[in-house]
Amino acid sequence: MSVIAPSLSESYCFIIPCYNHSDALPSVLQNIEQYQLTCFLIDDGSSNEQAQKLFDITKQYPWVNLVRLAKNEGKGAAVMCGFNHASAQGFDYAIQIDADGQHDSQIVKQLIEQSQLNPNALISGCPVYDDSVPKHRLIARYITHFWVWIETLSFNIKDSMCGFRIYPLKPTCKLIKQHQIGKKMDFDTDIMVRLYWQGTDSIFVPTQVTYPVDGISHFKAFKDNLLISWMHTRLFFGMLPRIPALIKQNRLKKNQDTHWSQTEERRGLWGIQLILILYRLLGRRAAQIIMFPVISYFWFTGKKQRQASKAYLEKILKQYSNVPLIQKKKLTSFRHFQHFGESLLDKLASWHGDIKLDDIYSPNKNEFLKLVSEKKGIILICSHLGDIEMCRALAELSHNVTINALVHKGNAVRFNQVLKQVNPASIINLIEVATLGADTAIILQQKLEAGEWVAIVADRTSINPYQRVPENTIIWANFLGKSAPFPKGPFVLSSALKFPVYFCWGLKPNGRFQIFLEHFADELKLSRKNRQAELEQTVQYYANRLEYYCLQSPLDWFNFFDFWQYNPPETFGKKDE
C-alpha cells in the first residue's frame, strides 16, 4: 500500500541518475518502493558489467524503467534525459534522488507535501550532515553558497548542491530548451540558479545526508572544481544584466514572504493615545467613535493584512455550515479589522478594571476557581484567536493570579506603551520569547513551583533566525482544510516543565465575552523513541481545537499574515545578546 495518495502516482515520478552504482541501488529502490511511483533509472554509460547488474536489478521492480545512455555524459545529462522521458509520459513533477544511498528517502512524503502546497516551486532537500561528511566537501559547499548568494542577490537559496529534489517539469523543461545547462557536477547549482532567475521559487526541507564508508564518489577534485568555477563565472556575468530584474524580484518576494515577527508595527500611536484619552474621559462609546476611522485607515492602507484576512475568511466560508454564531454577510475583511479594533478597547477596559470576571460567560468557571484556590502552577497553551490579554488581566485583577506570558514584544511596542499607561502591571509579567533559553526555562519552572501560571502562544512559528535549519522547529498540521506550520517549541517546553497543561481561549463571538479552559494533560509526556510522531499528534490535536473555536468566533482571528505559508525569519544586524 502506498504511503501517499494513489492519485499522486499520475503526477509524480522518480528520476535516478546512475553511473556504476549497482551495489547501493537495491537499497535505494527498496526504500522508495513504498511510494508506488514510476521510476526512471538513467544508466549514464556504466561499464558493461555494471550495466548488466542494473538490468538484473530493475527486472525485480516492474515500476522501474531503465534507460541506458550510450556513453557517460555526466550526472546533469542523465537527469535531463530523465526529465524528457517523464515529460513525454505526462508526468508533472520529477523527484530526483541519487543512486548512492546518501539521502534519507523517508522524507519523500514531506517533499511531496511541500510540492502540493507550492505547486510552481522547486522543492529541495537541505542537508543535515552527520560525522561522515568529508570536511573538504563542507568547505566547497560554503564557497558555492557564497557565489549563489551573489548570483541571485539574495539568501533565498539555502543549498544549491543537494541532489534530492522535486522539479516542476513544465518550467524546468522550458528552461532546458532555452539555455545550455551544465551536464556534469555543475548541473544542480546551475539549474537551481537559472530557475530562480526565471521566477521559480525554491522551498527547502531538512534531510539527513550520510556518506557511506565504502561509498563510490565520481567527483574529480581538479576537473570538477574547475568546471564548477567556470559555471560560477558564467552565472556571475549572466547575473549582471539581470540586476534590476533581480532587485525587483527579491523586493517583491521579501514583501510577500516576511516572517510574522518581522512585520513592522503599523504607525498610529497618536490615534491609540487619543482613543485612550477619550475612553478615560468620556467612556467606551466615545472611544468607539474615534476607533472606527482609525481602524478604517489601517484597513485601507494595510494591503498585505487585508489580503491575509480575505484568504482566512474564504476558508471559513467554505465551512460556513459549522459556523453557528455569526451571519455570513458579516464575514468581511472590513468587519474583521473593526473587530480587532474592538479587542484593543477590550484590552484597555480589562486592565482599567472595567470588565470583571462575573461579566464573563465560561462553562469551565468552576474548574477555573478550583485551580485558583489550589494555588498550583499550570501551563496555558493559548493562541492569537481571541483576547488572551483580557484573560490575563481578569485573572490578575479579579483573583490575584499571576500569569506570566511568553510574548514577542517587537511588533507591538506602541500598543504596549498604551497598556502600561492604563495599568503598569500589564507589562510586568511579560517574558520576551526572543531570549528564550535554558535560563528562561529555569525561571518558568520556579514561577510554576511558586503557584504562578505560564501562558504560551502556540500558533506562531519561532522568531529565532539563528537556526541552521529553521524548518526543524515546525510541524505541519491540517487547519481549516489546508496544511499550516505550527511551532514545536511550546509543546517541547511544556513537556520539559512537567506541569498540568490547559488550552485557553478568550472569545467574543456574539458581543459577549466567553472564556474556555480545556484540560489537555496532567503532564505532557514525549518519549525519546517516538518523540516526533507524538509531537505531530499533539500539534494536530491543538490545530483541531483551534479550528473548532475559529468556527465558533471567526472574527476573533488576529493573525493578519499568510498563516499557511512558512517563511523563516531573516537575520538583520547582530544577534541579540
pLDDT at 396: 65
pLDDT at 370: 86
Q: CATH number of the domain at 6-252, out of 2.60.120.260, 3.30.365.10, 3.90.550.10, 3.40.47.10?
A: 3.90.550.10
Which among 228-237, 538-547, 567-576 has the top mean pLDDT? 538-547
pLDDT at 577: 35
Q: List pLDDT tens digits, range 134-146.
A: 676 677 778 888 9
Residue 574 in this model has a pLDDT that exceeds 60: no
CA 355/CA 166 separation, integer angstroms = 54
pLDDT at 215: 55
CA 278/CA 297 separation, integer angstroms = 19
**Is 96 in contact with 165 (CB distance < 8 Å)?**
yes
**Is 477 in contact with 404 (CB distance < 8 Å)?**
no
E strands, 367-490, in order: 379-382, 403-407, 430-432, 453-457, 474-479, 482-487
Residue 28 in this model has a pLDDT that exceeds 80: yes
CA 129/CA 134 separation, integer angstroms = 10
Residue 417 in this model has a pLDDT that exceeds 70: no
Pick from 503, 403, 415: nearest CA to 459:
503
Is this structure's pTM higher than 0.75?
no
Q: Is 303 helix (H, G, I), strand (E, B) or coil?
A: helix
- The CATH 3.90.550.10 portion of the chain extends over 6-252
DSSP 461-509: -------S-GGGGEEEEEETTEEEEEESHHHHHHHHHTS-EEEEEEE-T
Residue 473 in this model has a pLDDT that exceeds 60: yes
Which of 2-16, 336-350, 358-372 is least confident? 358-372
Start-to-end Cα distance in the chain? 51
CA 241/CA 230 separation, integer angstroms = 18
pLDDT at 464: 57
pLDDT at 573: 44
Q: List pLDDT tens digits, range 64-97.
A: 999 999 898 899 999 999 999 999 999 999 999 9
CA 238/CA 197 separation, integer angstroms = 10
β 93-96/474-479 pair status: unpaired
State the pLDDT confidence band at 514, using cuts at 50, 70 and 90: confident
Residue 373 in this model has a pLDDT that exceeds 50: yes
State the pLDDT confidence band at 560, using cuts at 50, 70 and 90: confident
Q: For residue 53, what is its C-alpha cell?
A: 547488474
pLDDT at 466: 45
Instruction: Report the 10 Å Cβ neighbour count for 108.
Output: 26
Residue 153 in this model has a pLDDT that exceeds 70: yes
Which amino acid is located at 567 in the chain? N
Considering Cα of 380, then 456, then 552, then 389, what sign does the dihedral take?
A: positive
